[in-house]
Chains A and B, each alone.
Chain A
């Protein structure tokens, strides 16, 4: 997409990339190397979904692809597959972000949750088809549930800490500003 963005938008994009870096590094720090019995929610994915739903301009598709491909490489996941699925999910949210804005939060949450379930299942199915070792099902389901559950929390934090919220009608500072 040949987009002409304002410097402010570029700054917001940089904030997103920085946030992604911080989340990734925090996950990489070797604090406990014992296998865990529960899986933490996929915070990076939740953050990306919130950002795309609220301010799609701040997370262009190439940043999503680059960030998730990098985490694929760093986290020893099969490279490319998860990144492709996340790109598809964010595109699905992006094309509907105007409709999402007029929906209630519960509806938005349900839509995103459905998308998360869909890409998690697709990931497992593709990995099973190409006969790659699969992660334990329980852990995957736990992570999925966690990601869905922290979504409202991330929305809250994004709203009040990063000012990532829907643009209200009449909120435009100048005519023709991108929404």
Chain B
């Protein structure tokens, strides 16, 4: 450190002081984060927004090499894969026919009932740029942000199932908190029983079902869709299937494929109109039905005036 002993005796205390100050500053940042998390998270998002897109060129070769290896492995079992795909395609054709018929029938029935359904959700598609980088957090960074009109809290899906929701928007990037993250909680409905519950991520690939009212009516294999409870999510987005974990807790086998997540759709979820004023009590008109009708001389009672 120092060239000789005499300068070391001067430098060491000053240096210790500076290091102490540095540690204190870092701890102060942590304290501020704990106290005023949204502000610091916005700062974090701004930093990521600035830094990560410029590293795209560096990530491309790593990503490319990994894909090359994966592709090479898949070439080896190309014939088997082809067979499988053909068989699946046959099944899919049959299912497509069934789906078309059901869609028509559904449309007819909805028309008969004169049901007004939710307006179609539109979406923005983004490319997955990075993951969270640590095994403890499950989130990805998309290359769409405030510039593309992304708003915090919007749900994201891959082609099939719900993947997570937007938690943090930068100018040109946004972070998606995956359903498997330990801090992810979303309201769900379990079909066909219609039970409402909360899907809580716990850093395993199958998140837990919490706050279930009646476990007896839920069976493994039941479909799980999002519910509009609390107005945070649009309803009826496919989440997955109920599965019974080895620890005998109900979990959800997610429909989204996290292994091959390259693109994500961000659904433009517009909040429902809120009904703010409470319904007023409908009381009979006192002059017709109330006590004043029985004894016309008495003034209106306080209860009637209340309504």
> Which residues of A come within 8 Å of B, CB atoms?
1, 3, 21-22, 24-40, 56-57, 61-62, 65, 69-71, 73-81, 83-84, 87-88, 91, 130, 132-133, 135-136, 139-140, 143, 176, 178
Contacts and interface: CB of A to CB of B under 8 A. Distances in A.
Contact of A84 (B27, B130, B180): B27
A160 B295 CA distance: 106
Contact of A61 (B22, B40, B63, B258): B22
A28 B33 contact: no
B61 to A, nearest CB: 10
B249 interface: no
B210 to A, nearest CB: 15
A10 to B, nearest CB: 16
Interface stretch (B47-55, B99-107, B281-289, B296-304): B47-55
B144 to A, nearest CB: 15
B182 A133 contact: yes
B91 interface: no
B174 interface: no
Number of chain B interface residues as a range: 35 or more
B203 A29 contact: no
A69 to B, nearest CB: 7
A38 B48 CA distance: 26
Given A35-B204, A75-B134, A87 B182 contact: no
B265 to A, nearest CB: 15
Contacts of A140: 136
Interface string B248-277: 000000000011010000000000000000
Given A61-B19, A130-B34, A136-B136, A29 B26 contact: no
B138 A87 contact: no
Contacts of B178: 33
The 7 tightest CB contacts between A and B, nearest first, are A80-B29, A80-B30, A135-B136, A84-B26, A28-B130, A30-B131, A39-B135
Given A35-B203, A74-B51, A79-B44, A65 B129 contact: no
Contacts of B110: none
A35 B203 CA distance: 6
Contacts of B183: 133
Contacts of A65: 22, 26
A81 B59 CA distance: 28
Given A33-B261, A76-B134, A84 B52 contact: no
A61 B25 CA distance: 14
A176 B5 CA distance: 12
B23 to A, nearest CB: 5
Contact of A69 (B26, B175, B202, B258): B26
Interface centre among B1, B55, B202 (most CB of A within 10 A): B1
B178 to A, nearest CB: 7
Contact of B28 (A24, A76, A80): A80
A74 B30 contact: no
B279 to A, nearest CB: 38
A87 B22 CA distance: 9
B81 interface: no
B15 interface: yes
B133 interface: yes
A149 B135 CA distance: 18
A70 B183 CA distance: 22
B62 A75 contact: no
B58 interface: yes
B133 A132 contact: no
A79 B33 contact: yes
B59 A28 contact: yes
B259 A81 contact: no
Which of B30, B52, B131, B261 counts the most chain A CB atoms within 10 A? B30
A76 to B, nearest CB: 4
Given A76-B134, A132-B34, 10 more contacts: A28-B130, A29-B131, A30-B130, A33-B259, A73-B44, A73-B48, A79-B30, A80-B27, A136-B182, A139-B136
